Structures are given as C-alpha cells and as structure tokens.
C-alpha cells in the first residue's frame, strides 16, 4: 500500500504549487484527444484498473478522478499522469432472414436464415490518458484540475471502398456489417473538470467535480437508397449504398460528480459517489456519397448541417476497503449505471435535401433519423487490493483484482457500433515508490461473453435517407453472433510535493510498512 502521508510543517509558500496547477491547466488545454464512443469497455486508470475498478473507497490519489472525487483529498499536492492502450478486438458473424414472396398473394414471408462470413473489428494503437494536478490550499481543503477519456472501443470494420470492382455477393460477404458501422475513426471525447475535496473532520472527506464533456463524435456508415415501392432494386445491393459520414462537433456538455469517504476506523474506509447524466446536444455535419445507379445519376445533396441529440447515463458507485492486515488493502465495490436512458441517437437535418433523384420530387428533404439504441441498466461488482513490500529504501506495491459487469445492450439491440456483453475482467498491477515519486504499471484482460442476436427478433433496421412509408417487412441488419475481448496495458506516475500541505495532526491511516 502507499505510505500514509506524514505530518508536515505548517504552510510553506503556495506559489510553486499554484504555478504547477496552472501548468496542469495548460497541459489539459493541449492534451492529445483520446478515442471514445458509446459505451466504455474497461475500468479506467492505471492504478485503479490494476484493482479491477475496486477504487471507490480506497482511491487516495488523483487516479480517483472518475471514481470518487472525495478521494482526491488524500492526494494532497500532487501531479498525476497515466496512459493506457485498450487493445479491443471483436468478431461478428451476421445472420439474416431471407425474405421470400408468396407467389399467390404477393406478400413477403419469412424464409431461411442466411449466415455471412465473419468479420473482425479492431482499434488503433492510441494511448488513452489521464492528467491531473492538485494543491492542498488548507489543512481541510484540496483543489484539483483533471482530464480523462473513457476506455472505449474506437472500432473499424471492413470498408466497402476496399472492395471496389468486386461483385455484389463478394462485397456483401466482405462487409456484412456496413449498415451498422464502417469506422469510428476521428471520434475524440474528453472529460475535463475541477474538483474540490474537503475534510470537515478527520473521519470524513467530501468531494465534488464540475466539468464538461468535450470533443467530437464521428462515424461512417452505409445507408440504402433502395426504395422497393419506387425502384426495382435489392435492398442490400452495394450499387444502392449511400456512404454517409456523420461528424458531431463541437461537443461541449456539462457534467458533475459527487462523492464521500467515511473513515469509521483507521483501518476501514467506506466510499460512495455518483455522476450526473450528460445530455449531448450538438451540431453535426453530414456528408454523403450517393449511389452509382442510373436513378441517382443526376442527383446531388443540398445542405449538410444537422442537430444531434443523445443522453449518457448517471451512475452510482459504492465500496468498502479494509486495512485490517498490515500492508494489505482489500476493497469490494459495486456500481449501477442508468444506461436505459440512452435509448436513441437522434439526427435532425437542417434542410438537407436530395435533388434530381429519378421518380422522386425534384427536391426531397432528408427526414429526421432515429438510430435506436435500446440500452438497459447495468450492474457491476469489483474485488481488488494491493500489498506493500518494503525493499531497502524503496517500496513495492503489488495489486490484483477481478470484476463482473452485466451488459448494457440487450441482445436484440446489439450492433457492431457498440458490442457490449456480460464480461469478466482479471487485472494485475504494481507500483514502485522512489522518494516522492510513484511509478505505476498494469495489465488487465476483459473476457466478453459471446452473444447472439436472433435474426427473427433483432430490432435494428436498415435506414433509408429518403422519406417513405415504413416498410411492412423492414430489413433487419443486426442479427448474428457477437464476441469481443480487450487487453489493457498502462503506465503512469504520481509525484507528491511537500509545499502547500498543512496537517495539524496525523490523519487516520493504516500503520506504515516496516522497512
């Protein structure tokens, strides 16, 4: 475990600490953006991830950002930086019902299930950072600035453009997921904010964070320009595909987080925290490449602006940590996330129109589009800890943890845009203390359970950019078998300063390891 902070002399000059905090703010403004989209896939933060997210009660450094702002009080005056690579990979085998027409009635009836070749999704090498700085301005008060990105999968799948010149069936088999997602490249989301942590009495810490979710959400997907009631066409013919690039930017949405840590005994900590919901309302640009069929030969797009709206959930976390065994810290934590409020992504075009499409009015305005998400609430349980081993003048912390989380996406709403299933995480990590510097490392593996979206009950339909009557038998695009997994590899450091800290009496803590 980390050594308890010693009682330090009364206040030194705060000027160097405030200068360091200002520098941290400047770094935040220029921090490299980290990819994120939709649902995060792993517990974040190098030290916290090494405990499999069991860091709600035991968080006592700036890595507590995102877990419990009250824990930041124990960081004192500190500079903190870490970065992790989320190596996410997935497999999707699409299954679809072949619709057949009754020759006597002309009605569409269900037919056999077609299974397409499997496709793989992958993410680029992109370290996801956390950066924060804090100053203890008073014995009872710590202020901090911090920024972090969620550990989310920035996935890409086979691109139809890489298969130009091939036959209908070859393109369809090579890119069966294209109506749900081609790529999320270009998405950059970051949470940045200021935290105040206060200890009114030595047995209690309270914390609050206010900040913004900022960045950009970008996705490339294929729609279909085929309207069976108007044109003689096949709904999934690549010749009728409309390639669409949606860029939501800038995203600037406020968020808040609150937390508390209670120390009923020097060897016990109880923590609880909650993050408020985030309501994203942003402008977007929609760019399309129209089909190559003769119907669209003279067609063009007019306008490219739209409004986008989606909601991200509130959550609540709770944990209890024991230090009853010397040098050992062990925490059990639980989480609940209200993902059911993320029901859809709504795109409202601002007078975007298709012009000169054969057999349609000269100007056909793009209707509002609703991309159904249908998420459900999720729960998680975490168990993790760390053990401190003195080594001469150094201190080595070894840590491990495991967690289980239910899926936020019902099977019928699964798509490659967000592959989420029940998952188990196993994590290992360690820290080396060298004076006031702590160096952290972690490795975690996320085991995602394979999930099947029954093509006869799946809910995600093919979207057409042309305003028509809803088809009696919509084309379902998300049936099939999904599986995913991820490796998390991270490095970090924390440096504690003496200046700016005032402690009149030692705070409750476990006994320091004997060197």
Q: Are 180 and 416 in contact (CB under 8 A)?
A: yes
Q: What is the CATH classification number for the domain harbouring 111?
A: 2.40.160.60
Q: Does any domain span residue 507?
A: no
How much is the mean pLDDT over the chain?
A: 86
Q: Token pair for residue 349?
A: 């075009």
Residues in the chain: 515
- 504 in any annotated domain: no
SS3 465: coil
Residue 319's pLDDT band, with cuts at 50, 70 and 90, is very high
- In 3D space, the residue among 414, 288, 277, 436 whose CA is nearest the CA of residue 355 turns out to be 288
pTM of the model: 0.87
Q: Is residue 10 part of a domain?
A: no
Cα maximum dimension of the chain? 93
- Structural domain boundaries enclosing 346: 15-497
Q: Is the pLDDT of residue 381 over 80?
A: yes
For 80, the token pair is 């903190």
Distance CA 67, CA 321 (A): 14
Q: Is residue 396 part of a domain?
A: yes
Residue 121 lies in a domain: yes
178 backbone φψ class: left, alpha, beta (φ>0; ψ -120 to 50): alpha
Measured CA to CA, the distance from residue 345 to residue 309 in angstroms comes to 6
Residue 156 covered by a domain: yes
User: Any idea what DSSP says for residue 182?
Assistant: S
**Cβ-based neighbour number of residue 107 at 10 Å:** 10
Q: Is residue 430 within 8 Å of 388, Cβ to Cβ?
A: no
The answer to whether the beta carbons of residues 293 and 225 sit under 8 Å apart is: yes
Q: Which two tokens stand for residue 122?
A: 């992958």
The model's confidence at residue 165, banded by pLDDT at 50, 70 and 90, is: confident
Cis preceding linkage at 142, omega within 30: no
In a domain, 263, yes or no: yes
Between CA 60 and CA 440 the distance in angstroms is 14
Q: Is the pLDDT of residue 134 over 70?
A: yes
Q: Collapse the DSSP code of 230 into the 3-class scheme (helix H, G, I; strand E, B; otherwise coil) and give the result.
A: coil
Query: How would residue 101 be classed by pLDDT, with cut points 50, 70 and 90?
Result: low
- Asked if the structure places residue 503 within a domain, the reply is no
pLDDT tens, 396-439?
999 999 999 999 999 999 999 889 999 999 999 999 999 999 99
Closest CA to 244 of 503, 494, 10, 462: 462
Q: Count up the domains in the chain and report the number.
A: 1
């Amino acid at each position: 475990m980390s050594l308890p902070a010693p009682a330090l002399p009364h206040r030194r000059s705060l000027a160097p600490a405030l200068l360091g905090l200002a520098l941290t703010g400047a770094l935040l403004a220029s921090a490299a953006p980290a990819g994120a989209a939709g649902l995060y896939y792993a517990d974040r933060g190098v030290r916290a991830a090494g405990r499999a997210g069991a860091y709600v009660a035991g968080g006592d450094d700036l890595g507590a950002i995102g877990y419990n702002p009250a824990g930041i009080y124990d960081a004192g005056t500190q500079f903190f930086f870490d970065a992790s690579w989320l190596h996410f990979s997935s497999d999707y085998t699409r299954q679809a019902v072949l619709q057949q027409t009754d020759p006597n009635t002309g009605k569409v009836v269900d037919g056999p299930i077609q299974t397409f070749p499997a496709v793989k999704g992958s993410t680029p090498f992109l370290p996801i950072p956390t950066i924060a700085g804090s100053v203890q301005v008073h014995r009872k008060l710590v202020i901090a600035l911090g920024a972090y990105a969620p550990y989310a999968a920035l996935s890409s799948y086979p691109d139809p453009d890489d298969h130009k010149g091939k036959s209908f069936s070859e393109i369809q088999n090579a890119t069966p997921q294209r109506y749900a997602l081609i790529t999320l490249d270009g998405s950059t989301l970051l949470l940045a904010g200021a935290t105040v942590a206060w200890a009114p009495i030595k047995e209690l810490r309270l914390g609050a964070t206010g900040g913004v979710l900022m960045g950009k959400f970008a996705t490339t997907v294929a729609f279909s320009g085929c309207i069976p009631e108007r044109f003689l066409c096949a709904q999934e013919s690549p010749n009728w595909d409309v390639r669409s690039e949606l860029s939501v930017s800038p995203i600037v949405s406020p968020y808040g987080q609150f937390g508390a840590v209670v120390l009923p005994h020097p060897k016990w900590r109880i923590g609880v925290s909650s993050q408020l919901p985030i309501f994203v309302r942003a402008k977007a640009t929609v760019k399309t490449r129209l089909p190559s069929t003769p119907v669209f030969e003279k067609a063009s797009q007019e306008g490219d602006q739209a409004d986008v709206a989606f909601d991200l959930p509130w959550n609540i976390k709770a944990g209890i940590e024991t230090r009853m065994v010397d040098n050992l810290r062990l925490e059990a934590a639980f989480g609940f996330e209200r993902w059911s409020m993320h029901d859809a992504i709504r795109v409202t075009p601002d007078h975007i129109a298709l012009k000169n499409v054969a057999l349609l009015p000269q100007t056909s305005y793009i209707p509002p589009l609703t991309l159904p998400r249908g998420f459900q609430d999720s729960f998680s349980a975490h168990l993790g800890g760390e053990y401190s081993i003195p080594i001469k003048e150094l201190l080595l912390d070894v840590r491990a943890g495991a967690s289980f989380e239910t899926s936020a996406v019902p099977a019928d709403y699964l798509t490659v845009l967000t592959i989420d299933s029940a998952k188990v995480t196993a994590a290992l990590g360690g820290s080396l203390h060298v004076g006031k510097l702590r160096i952290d490392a972690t490795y975690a593996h996320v085991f995602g359970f394979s999930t099947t979206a029954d093509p006869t009950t799946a809910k995600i339909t093919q979207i057409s950019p042309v305003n028509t009557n809803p088809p009696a038998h919509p084309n379902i695009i998300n049936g099939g078998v999904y599986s995913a997994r991820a490796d998390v590899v991270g490095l970090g450091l924390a440096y504690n300063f003496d200046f700016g800290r005032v402690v009149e009496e030692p705070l409750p803590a476990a006994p320091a390891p004997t060197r």
